Amino acid sequence: MTSVQSQLVGNEKSRQEMLLFHLAAHQTFGINVLKIKEIIPYERLNRLPGSHPAIVGIARLRGSPLPVIDLSQAIGMQPVTENQDLSHLSIIISEFNRSLQGFLVRRVQRIITLEWKDILPPPKATGHFSYITGVTRIDEKLVEIVDVERVLNEVSPPVDTTGQGVSLDEQHLEALRQKLVMVVDDSSMARKQIGRTLDMIGLEYLMAQDGKEALDKLHELQADGQHVDLIISDIEMPEMDGYTLTREVRKDQDLSSVYILLHTSLAGVVSNENAQASGADAALTKFVTEELAEAVVQGLSQS
């Protein structure tokens, strides 16, 4: 087993380590190293009856079982079959949104360091590009960053607890409904999940796909005399990441009082201290509806 967990935690860098790997053919894909626990060689797995077709079986990490997802099949590409050469297959053990899972990939390449500003939004297209949150070029080759949140939501959807465990009096709700929230996330699935939570509370909100788009919208609202009270921002985003967005907002005297909640799939990595170091007010690991709703209410009550 090879440990690849990075030590880039708790600082304000906009640089990121990315693990590169192949799926079908020679196309290169990437996943943030901070989300990876280990890489283990592939062994034949027993399929679970009734499971999603992309779940190829169960692996064990120090005795703990976890599902293994054929990432190629999950994003609409050619699945791995038993009659293929399996010698170059690996299982990437990762932690997303408080859960452990394995991703079956064809060939692990290497770890590279890059800046989020060098990652661009993906082309608007169907097929596997709808599972991509960003693209960049390494050694003149295209690298596609996988929207793991969408993959997990489709292959192993979480229990929908929307509307449970959140209780607000009508007077408090009425005061909150006069506020405006901005949601910033490069994952379409994450934006939908957050939107459902805000709809549950009855809040008005607008969406942005990355920090650059969010900053542009904030300045447009300023010019129209409007004001955002709370920003819910992912950390990993193309062009401008959440840390950089936070610093840019804090630089602007007219925006500096906006409450910023960093909302991340990096379980156990981003603490409130790290968020505050970047200028944010709080951080929360995705995705528990009640916790997000409570954090939003608390943030709006302070803003």
pLDDT tens digits along 102-144? 999 988 999 999 887 888 888 776 567 788 988 999 988 899 9
CATH number of the structural domain 2-155: 2.40.50.180
pLDDT higher than 50, residue 5: no
Q: What is the pLDDT of residue 7?
A: 40
Nearest Cα to 132, choosing from 276, 18, 31, 256?
A: 31
Q: What is the DSSP string of 105-142?
A: ESEEEEEEEEEGGG-BPPPS-SGGGGGEEEEEEETTEE
pLDDT band at residue 162 under the 50/70/90 scheme: low
pLDDT band at residue 161 under the 50/70/90 scheme: low
Q: What is the pLDDT of residue 127?
A: 61
Which residue did the predictor score with more confidence, 261 or 166?
261
Exposed/middle/buried for 56, CB within 10 Å: 0-12, 13-18, 19+?
buried
Segment among 25-34, 101-110, 164-173 with least mean pLDDT: 164-173
Question: Rounded to two decimals, what is the model's pTM?
Answer: 0.77
Mean of pLDDT values over 260-270: 76
pLDDT higher than 50, residue 218: yes
Q: What is the pLDDT of residue 201?
A: 86
pLDDT band at residue 276 under the 50/70/90 scheme: confident
Mean of pLDDT values over 215-235: 94
pLDDT higher than 60, residue 270: no
Mean of pLDDT values over 13-41: 84
Q: Name the CATH topology of 170-302.
A: Rossmann fold (3.40.50)
The DSSP call for residue 10 is S
pLDDT higher than 50, residue 204: yes
Beta bridge partners of 65: 60
CATH topology of 2-155 equal to that of 170-302?
Answer: no
Mean of pLDDT values over 261-290: 79
For the chain, domain boundaries: 2-155, 170-302
pLDDT higher than 60, residue 55: yes
